[in-house]
Amino acid sequence: MAEAGNERIGFLGLGVMGLLMAVNLVKKSGCPVYGFDVVDEKMQLFKEAGGHTAAEPEEIYKTCSVIMQMLPTHETVIHSVREAVRLSAPETVIIDLSSTAPHIISELNEEVKGARMFLADSPVSGGNPKAADGTLAIMTGAEKGVFTRIEPLLACMGNPVHTGGVGSGSITKLINNTIAGAYLAAIAEGYAFAAKAGIDLRTTFDATRTGFAGGPLYENKVPKIIAHDYEPGARIAVHRKDILNAKAYAHTLGIDLPVTDVTLRIMDWMKDKGYIDIDQAGMIKYFEEKMGTRAGRG
């Protein structure tokens, strides 16, 4: 296998988080990084940061030894991997940084192995702030030798952990997001409760942030609730997709996820009300309506 420092990296999907991750690769990896996105503005920002822009995805598939993808839907993930299988050279590593269902990863892995290539499912967590400063949690399912090859590259974007074989990264991400979803719902409920009780939300935040309720998610989302700032750092739509994937995988194990059911009910309400593409902090809207209150000063 090639050494990390000799890799030519392709990055597909320069979206909200993808651009930040790709820029960290450009700055830290010492490798040439070629990026592609359908949005010209994203391509320009990537170029200004020192990246090489690919005229089309096929350029990345044909010339890069490591192909990273941060894509929004299962359909785009499947299409991208199959294009790599069709066009890329043997020994190429495809790293799916997206939140992809485990059964899809397993099916794609068979196709990738058949082309004498390697697949790593490597979803991330931490949102825009951690994508920007290169401290994302990175959960990587891969063959051990493949992980050794790509770990220095992943470390440019965060803290990679080898979770086991292909597919285990995606399962770990589902576990992460069921926990995070329940936590987000609890935060939203708590701050609507505080608003209904007439307690100042900033004072509540200052008083609780260093206790057991605090943590990185708390620090990121509560100020957005207080300001009614729902500009998406992480969209409810993406998190809901992970919740649905978790439910489907739990079904294959013959188990229920009762707390996750509550999270999904809130996210379904957000979808029905047209709020599905706002930030997760916007889950407060569900509790504002149910409690007849308004949290924050936005």
Question: Please, are residues 232 and 263 in contact by the beta-carbon 8 Å criterion?
Answer: no
Predicted confidence pLDDT, tens digits, the chain (298 residues): 444 568 999 999 999 899 999 999 999 999 999 999 999 999 999 999 999 999 999 999 999 999 999 998 999 999 999 999 999 999 999 999 998 999 999 999 999 999 999 999 999 998 888 999 999 999 999 999 999 999 999 999 999 999 999 999 999 999 999 999 999 999 999 999 999 999 999 999 999 999 999 999 999 999 999 999 999 888 999 899 999 999 999 999 999 999 999 999 999 999 999 999 999 999 999 999 999 999 976 4
**φ, ψ at 195 (rounded to 5°):** -65, -45
Secondary structure class of 72 (helix, strand, coil): coil
- 42 assigned to active site: no
Which pTM value belongs to this model?
0.91
Place of tokens 């651009």: 19
Could you say which of 173, 221, 241, 285 is catalytic?
173
DSSP assignment, residue 165?
A: S
Place of tokens 């930030």: 279
Reading the block at residue 209, the tokens are 């942030």
Q: Could you give the CA distance from residue 180 to residue 263 in angstroms, rounded to a whole number?
A: 10
Q: Could you give the CA distance from residue 133 to residue 156 in angstroms, rounded to a whole number?
A: 10
Domains, the chain, in order of start with CATH, read: 4-165 (3.40.50.720), 171-291 (1.10.1040.10)
Task: Quickly list DSSP for 224-248.
Answer: HHHHT----SSBHHHHHHHHHHHHH
Q: Could you give the CA distance from residue 247 to residue 270 in angstroms, rounded to a whole number?
A: 18
Q: Could you give the CA distance from residue 59 to residue 87 in angstroms, rounded to a whole number?
A: 9
**What pLDDT, on the 0 to 100 scale, is given for residue 1?**
40
